[in-house]
Structure formats: C-alpha cells, structure tokens
Structure 1
Amino acid sequence: MSLEIINTPIFATIQDKGRFSYTHIGVTHAGVMDEYAYYIANMLLGNKKDENIIEIAFANVEFKANTNTQIAVTGAFCELFINNEPKKIWQTHNLKVGDIVKIGKFLEGSKVYLAVKDGFKIKKEFGSYSTTIKENLGGLNANRLQKGDILKINSHTLHHTSRLKDIFHPKYEDTLLLRVVLSYQEESFSAKEKQKFFSSEFTVSNEFNRMGCKLKGEPIKCDIDGIVSEGISFGAIQIPSDGQPIILLKDRQTIGGYPKIGSVLSIDCFKLAQAKPNTKIRFKQISIEKAQKKLKEFYNSFN
C-alpha cells in the first residue's frame, strides 16, 4: 500500500509544521513554506492538522497509486492530471490502484502541496517528519524525493470529495505588501534609512530558496557592521553589508551576525513563499499587538 514516485522530481520533499525547541542545538526549524495551503490540504482530507505532506517546488512530478486512497492538491495553481485527464486543485480526488497522478506546469505561485489520506507512514525525527537535507534529517531517507521512492500509506476506498470554495482560494500577485514588526536593533538604523526601507520597492532576486529570500533594491544602510551572532526568527530581515535585505525562511540557519531591521509577519511569509523571482515587494510597519492578533485569527480559522 503505497504512493510511488515514477519520474525524477527536481525538488520535492516531505514536510509538516516543522521542528520546535531544537534551535539551541543547531537544528533548523524546517517545515512547509506555505502553511495556508498545508492546513487546507489536511482539512479537506480530514487529516490531523500536523500531518505530513509533499511540498513540490518545480513542475512535472508523477506518482502512481499502488492502493486505493484519496489525495488533496493545494498551493500554486498548476496543471493536475489523473490518468491524463485534467483535474482541479484545492479539492480532493479519489485514487484507485494503478492511477497515475501528474503535477504539470505551474500557472500561478511556486509551491504545490500534495497530501494523502492519513499521511505517509514514515518515522519522525526530533518530533517532525520534515526533510532538512543539510542536516540529514526527516522525510524519506533525509533527502528530496527521487524516482522509485515508495511512500507507504493506508488503504482507503472513498467515494465522496471535498473542495475549497473559490472565495477562499489565494491570489498569487506580482506585487506583495509584507507587514513588518521592527526589531530591537532598529536603533542601529537612522530615521532616514527606516523611511527609505518602508517607502522603497524591492524585487525578489534569483537567490530565493527554503533558507531565505534576498531582495534587490535601494541599499539600506546600518550604523553598525555586524553583531554578535544570535538566534534568528522566522521572517527576520537581515541587512548585510551590501544593504540588500534578506528575509529568512523555514530552513534558515539558527544563528547569524547581520543586524536585523525587523521581522516579516509569519503569515505574510507564507504569501512570499509562493512568489517568483522579479515579484515586487513593499513593506508596511505593524505593531507587535496587531501582529499577534492577526496570527491568532489565522490559526483559529482552522479550528
């Protein structure tokens, strides 16, 4: 009883919410880049909220069902085929033995999520299924998925389907407004530089992966060259010596020595995760109180 990878994906990994409480020993947080798509996929299947999922970063991935099951595909709007018949995403699909699933071209967005009923039967490491290649942890053999990989699953013969109403489908836009909580290091940036940061338009560069997203734009200057290395939060905005902001994401290093002007609201990082190079980025300041309220509203919406 399994789902089998039958071609060679460029970059697809097993992820879940990530690892918590291990950064003090240098273990990366990891986890899905777009938590909205992740939670919806598991909700559609009636899975546990923290069940594992496949995160697909490039087009053309093919699977074969070796048992009856049900899947949900969410995230980037993509071409989805089952036995060469086009299907819609943001809903469930029932599979029977021998069915071939293909994730084709990405039309909007950059991360597709494929979840299966009851998740994949693999072991957790440090409390998570998430793959972290540079630390040799999680997933299937601690690596990206490859041709011939067999992902064990439970067998289910289901006849119903579930779908997300169109009104709740995300929009993947060419310009993003990201909300930022200023950091305690903001005093190392002059009022002029902070004003420049919030009034400028930046562009997503090609240096964009699971570790972070480097932007291109008007350089932001800091009054100090560096700091003593310290822990780094999800969404932290580092300002290196070239002045080009780097937004740190799920596979970020656990410590760093660049000054940080602030941190992007985590739920906005999920939108950033679906961006492509050349996407335009603008920043807007938000208070810590409003940020906490927005986070509570987001996570409570899945209860």
Structure 2
Amino acid sequence: MLFGLFQEVRSVYRILAGILNIGNIEFAAISSQHQTDKSEVPNAEALKNGSYLMPMHDVAEHYLVSSLPFVPAASALCISPEELQEALTSHCVVTRGETIIRANTVDRAADVRDAMSKALYGRLFSWIVNHINTLLQPDKNICNADDGMNVGILDIFGFENFERNSFEQLCINIANEQIQYYFNQHVFALEQMEYQNEGIDAAQVEYEDNRPLLDMFLQKPLGLLALLDEESRFPQATDQTLVDKFEDNLRCKYFWRPKGVELCFGIQHYAGKVLYDASGVLEKNRDTLPADVVVVLRTSENKLLQQLFSIPLTRTGTWNAPIALA
C-alpha cells in the first residue's frame, strides 16, 4: 500500500499540510520603545487556520489535504503555535554564557520561514526515497552480491540553457559537468590506461577534459560555490557584491562578465556558453535552518516529524537512516 507507507500516510500528509500553511505566513514590521526593525505575524491566523485533513474513501489511515480551513497549521505539525511564531520571529544569541533573545527583521523572518519549508520538504522527500529503497532491496539471506542482482538508476535533469538561467540551472549544470567528467574518465582515460598497461596498440582518442572547469566550481576556498557560501554568510551582501566577488576571484577562461549587464555572469560549460542571472541567487542559497526551529520541530507529537529532525543529514544533505519494517 503506497510502497509500504500505510502506517505513515497520515503523518506524511500532516507534514505536507504544515508546509503549505507555513508558506501562507507573512510578516510586517513593528516598532517598540527600543527597536523599530522588528517583525510580527499580521496574519497570525495562518498559524492556527490550516488545511483540513479529511478522510479519503472513508479509510481512516488515508488523508487528503482539502481547502477547508479551521485546523491549525501548527497543529498539522503537532507543535505549539506560540513556539512556532517565536521561532520564526526571534532567535537566541549566547554571549559570555548569557542567552539573549533578539527579534528577527521582516526579511530575516521570511528567510527562516522559507528555510523551514525547504527543510521539511527535503527531509520528508529523502525519508520516502530511503523507505522505498529499504522495501525494494533484496533479501540478503536469499541472494548476495555475487549473484549480480543489482540495478542502478540515474535520472537527473539534462544540461539547461534557457532564456533566463538562475541558481537552479547553475546547480543542474554543475551536476552535469560532474557526470561528464565521470564519463570521460571511465570511457576514455581509464580505458586508454588499461590498453597501455596490457600493451595493446590502440589509437589515442582526443577528448576535452573538463576537470579545470570543475575545479573552478568546486575548489576551496576560491571556487564559485565556496565564494557563494561565503557571501551568503554576510548580512549586508547583495547579488551585486556576489557577482563582483566572482569577477575578482574567478580569473579563468571559463568565466566572463558581460558588458552592460550588472547582475549577470557567464560560464563556458562543456556543452556551450550559458549566461546566468544572479538576481535572487543569494536568497536562494541562504537556507540554513536556525537551531531554534529545529528544537521546536523536535518537540512535535508527530513521531515521523521527530525522526526527520533527530537524525543528522549525510554529507550530501540527504536523510538516510535505517528503517524498521513491520
């Protein structure tokens, strides 16, 4: 039943309902005696008025998200509305052993809201994939690795070059560069090395090595992604300062800055030139989830949600933990 997710379907839909309603939360600036740049939730009902979870086909374990209101968004996540609001509009700072609660600005609160939605969806998606993989793996008592009963599937977006290319296209194209490098190594470089080791007289195949381009993207501390992460940590950084930093540090033939276009930069990929629009790139990359939000989510009465935020992510940012099957 739904890839063995029968027992968890209700929890999955509750988390999805919570994600949808978190996106409806908006923030407005308020002023106080000591601080003017402070945020509040003007539509606080979004914290309480969520989507109604209604049974599907009269089966209690199956739920669909309806447009009907009145069920709290925080309730969908089984957390306190007050704690959710506090986590979105403030953050804790520890200074010399003293904990200070500071209000978030409107922009900061919106960033935390979006990061929370992304984290919920990302971890839930990884959990579902991990669960399916666990169900589909062969019984180790029946077969072993020597039987050759293995199937590998790779399905990603291909190289993208649209009229407007942004952060999403950059990530996809970097992944394609890595796949191209893997292909070059295994089809050309390693094969030719094996021919040489075995004394086989074979013609050398010329191919373009994209390793230098990958280094421009991935090397630390002056690769494109490292520079992007560094700039994302500066509160006063803008998309303009990001592009300027790229131009100052990425001095190679693969990077160029078009004249007359401020927030753009170009990359010479293996598949061709791509012009990227840097507008919004910093905002899209700033998705670090504050510890305050993680603490609130771990208090959820939803056991699945607790599990999603109690197990550390892998180095690649995915959720991967053993799943006990009934």
TM-score (norm 2): 0.21
**Structure with a larger share of its residues in helix:** 2
**Structure with a larger share of its residues in strand:** 1
* Larger Rg belongs to: 2
TM-score (norm 1): 0.22
Answer 1 or 2: higher relative contact order, Cα 8 Å, separation at least 6: 1
